[in-house]
């Protein structure tokens, strides 16, 4: 889904907020108080589904903790029905989190993309180029920084 308004990511311009509001039609497959799921308008595979928080939050880390739990609960609930409807034996479940990571609509959304044997696609690992050569000290520092940054 292409968003031409990434430079003005306010809610009035957000295509997903407009879907939530009913101003833009969608093939909605699930909805509850805080989350919604609908077919991607430009699917990468049959059954390609997006799960979003209904409120506008740009990044995963912007979603309030309780709603983040709701989003994952909806992802968890949808994976099997999406795979079954597509006749798929697997799926890629992923967020492009931030514009640099390829997020095209600035409203956090989780992709559930059915996968098939020999569908020509690849694992998430394949989107990365050369792997960094990290020493033990660097790995220890990064692990410590992450652990220190976690708040509950
Ligand atoms: Zn939005």
Residue 5 belongs to a domain:
no
Residue 110: how many CB atoms within 10 A of its CB? 22
Looking at the domain assignment, is residue 88 inside a domain?
yes
Within a domain: 3: no
Residue 105 has pLDDT above 50, yes or no: yes
30 membership: H or E segment, kind and range? strand 28-31
Check 57, 109, 111, 125 and give the catalytic one: 109
Residue 34 phi, psi dihedral angles, 5° rounding: -120, -10
**Does pLDDT of 88 surpass 90?**
yes
Q: Quote the domain boundaries for residue 110.
A: 11-149
Residue 139 pLDDT grade (very low, low, confident, very high; cuts 50, 70, 90): very high
Measured in Å, residue 125 CA sits from the centre of ligand 1 at: 28
Mean pLDDT, rounded, for 44-55? 98
Q: What is the pTM of this model?
A: 0.90
Q: Are 49 and 59 in contact (CB under 8 A)?
A: no
The verdict on whether 76 is a catalytic residue reads no
Distance 100 CA to ligand 1 centre (A): 18
């Amino acid at each position: 889904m292409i968003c031409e308004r990434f430079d003005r990511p306010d809610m009035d311009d957000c295509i997903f907020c407009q879907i939530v509001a009913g101003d833009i039609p969608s093939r909605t497959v699930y909805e509850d108080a805080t989350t919604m799921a609908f077919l991607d308008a430009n699917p990468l595979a049959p059954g390609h589904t997006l799960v979003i928080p209904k409120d506008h939050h740009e990044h995963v880390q912007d979603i309030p903790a309780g709603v983040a739990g709701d989003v994952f609960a909806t992802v968890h609930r949808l994976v099997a029905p999406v795979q079954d409807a597509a006749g798929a034996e697997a799926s890629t479940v992923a967020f492009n989190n931030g514009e640099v990571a390829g997020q095209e609509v600035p409203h956090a959304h989780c992709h559930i993309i059915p996968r098939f044997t020999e569908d020509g696609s690849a694992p998430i690992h394949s989107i990365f180029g050369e792997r960094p050569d990290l020493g033990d000290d660097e790995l220890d520092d990064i692990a410590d920084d992450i652990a220190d940054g976690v708040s509950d």
